[in-house]
Structure 1
Amino acid sequence: MTFETVYSDAPALDGPALFPTMATMRAMRRLRPDAVPDETIDRLVQAAVWGPSGGNMQAYEYVVVTDRAVMADLAPLWKRCVDAYLATTGKHAPKGMDDAAYGRMVAAIEYQRDHFADTPALIIPCYKFPEAQFDEEGLGVYAASLGPAGLEHMSSTQTRFQALAEGSCVYPGVQNLLLAARALGLAANLTIWHLMLEQEWKKALGIPSDTHTFAAIPVGWPQGNFGPVRRRPVADVIHRNRW
């Protein structure tokens, strides 16, 4: 039995309102070209802003693209990124995934690529986390707390910590946005393909070079219908008390 054939947590469809929202939040890439009202987009970003923020710094910014001319300018960038991504995924489904399901996913990605200029809205969450601040006393506490092993890997640890710290300040908000979109009947899927050409995207959208982007989220009214997501059963992913 694979995750493609199992609806995990099926009872969630009958649970509190949030649960069926989560359980039917598929990545729907075929969008109608109809515009999404600005006030609706604002509601999505408001949901994102309600997400947690490390240290409550709230150093996020959201670039919202709805102008069709700007979207048309971005379409070639999107195509290059998607083509590069698809070149890494292979022509056959990964282990545990049904070939037909994989084919449908790739077809949907290609459809979105070929119709990107008609995307009603694109939301790009950004964040700039401040550099870690160490003084002599702080370094002493750091060394005493983590010991020689911690100091040996201090540089790589701080690099990874900052990257994950920024992500942890952004992605909970992104999930809020996706949930809000589903609740409002909108399709919105999280992608990070633009990172392959992030500097070109930032230049095209006037995003400061020292600010990181974390997603490019197409938003619009879906052509199809929402339905249960296919996920691995909970019993297969839990490790209780230790791995």
Structure 2
Amino acid sequence: MAEEKDDAFTPAERDALYKAIFSRRDVRGQFRPDPVPDEVLTRILLAAHHAPSVGFMQPWNFIVITDQEVKSRIHADFTRATEEAAAMFEGERRSLYSRLKLEGIREAPINLCITCDRERSGPVVLGRTHMPAMDLYSCVCAVQNLWLAARAEGLGVGWVSILHEDALRDALGIPERIVPIAYLCLGHVTHFEATPELESKGWRKRLPLEDLVFRDRWQGE
């Protein structure tokens, strides 16, 4: 019988990975005030820092926010932005949107802003020569790593995207050349929902995988 390689996952390790993927949720209203230990936060950030990046440029930075005054500034902008967003929907859709809780900015003990420094490796980056947005996508991979690591630690994460970029830059002192990628809320939660909240609340259903997989070339409309 062939020897098992040291880098192979055991069945239990494989199942744990899939459990984290399938039970990850965008958390909004279940945050508890309990502090997140520094060693846990460090592990989560280290997981994010080990995301793949184009040309190994590692273009991310992580702004850790615990100051309530800063959180309040961000929340005030969210309030303005979500009022603007609600007006973009009509009828029952607008009514449902207004009933959804879409952030946990003040409740979560930690907020995180993940940014992209597009100049970190100079003007020519291996792998970005013909697809210039690859550094931005690399930072999104860091977000996903962080999210899965947090779930494995029993912590919830919520991504807040209903914000004005200029207001976010101003509140956090982000230079013009740095691109804000994700504003996240992080902390212990009372529970994780069995299904994504937007699905359970009737906003959208998960699409069937078989409708999304093509072979060899595009087969959609």
Superposition TM-score, scaled by structure 2 size = 0.75
Q: Which has the higher helix share?
A: 1
Letter in 2 for 1:207: I
Match of 1:207 in 2: 174
User: How far apart are residue 91 of structure 1 and its match?
Assistant: 4.5
Match of 1:4 in 2: none
CA distance in 2, matches of 1:61, 1:69: 21
Letter in 1 for 2:92: H
The alignment's C-alpha RMSD in Å is 2.8
Select between 37-46 and 85-94 the one with higher mean Cα deviation. 85-94
CA distance in 1, matches of 2:59, 2:26: 27
Select between 207-216 and 25-34 the one with higher mean Cα deviation. 25-34
Q: Percent identity?
A: 26
Q: Which has the higher strand share?
A: 2
CA distance in 2, matches of 1:177, 1:126: 13
CA distance in 2, matches of 1:91, 1:33: 36
1:124 partner SS = strand
1:22 partner SS = helix
1:59-82 deviation per Cα after TM superposition (whole angstroms, max 9, x unaligned): 211111012232223221222223
Determine if contact 1:25/1:228 at 8 Å carries over to the other structure.
Answer: no
CA distance in 2, matches of 1:90, 1:179: 35
**Is residue 139 of structure 2 the alignment partner of residue 170 of structure 1?**
yes
Greater length-normalized contact order (CA 8 Å, ≥ 6 residues apart): 1
**Is residue 183 of structure 2 the alignment partner of residue 216 of structure 1?**
yes
Letter in 2 for 1:125: I
User: How far apart are residue 179 of structure 1 and its match?
Assistant: 0.5
Structure 1 unaligned residues grouped into runs of 5+? 1-14, 95-101, 134-157
CA distance in 2, matches of 1:212, 1:79: 22
Superposition TM-score, scaled by structure 1 size = 0.68
**Which of these residues, 171, 186, 189, is aligned with residue 158 of structure 2?**
189
Determine if contact 2:113/2:184 at 8 Å carries over to the other structure.
Answer: yes
In 2 relative to 1, CA 104–78 (structure 1 residues): closer, same or farther, beyond 3 Å? closer
CA distance in 2, matches of 1:36, 1:90: 40
CA distance in 1, matches of 2:184, 2:91: 25
1:92 partner SS = helix
**Is residue 19 of structure 2 the alignment partner of residue 20 of structure 1?**
yes
In 2 relative to 1, CA 67–186 (structure 1 residues): closer, same or farther, beyond 3 Å? same
Structure 2 unaligned residues grouped into runs of 5+? 1-13, 200-205
CA distance in 2, matches of 1:105, 1:182: 28
